[in-house]
Amino acid sequence: MTTPPSTTRARCSPTEPGAVQISVRTAADGSWQRMKSCGAPDCGWVFYDHSKPHHARWCSTAGCGNRMKTRAYRDRKG
């Protein structure tokens, strides 16, 4: 199995031919199972889950993950 490139995320847009190319390429080597859409509803990125347990929820833990955690914390506080 080949090592995926470090930049394996692409915006999920039907007008973006790159997204289709990624889908085709990852389907060929079976890694499509690790392609996920970001858990942030206002993000829309598709990312490759590099984590061992395959439980990554965000395209970026420091970006969307942090943002969503902050938002959840704020919502709890009211």
What residue ranges bind Zn ion (CB under 5 A)? 38, 40, 43, 45, 59, 64
Q: What minimum distance in Å lies between the beta carbon of 24 and Zn ion?
A: 22
Rounded to 5 degrees, what are φ and ψ at 47?
A: -135, 160
Q: Are 44 and 63 in contact (CB under 8 A)?
A: no
Q: What minimum distance in Å lies between the beta carbon of 40 and Zn ion?
A: 5
The residue (of 30 and 57) whose beta carbon lies closer to Zn ion is 57
Q: Is 34 helix (H, G, I), strand (E, B) or coil?
A: helix
Q: What minimum distance in Å lies between the beta carbon of 44 and Zn ion?
A: 8
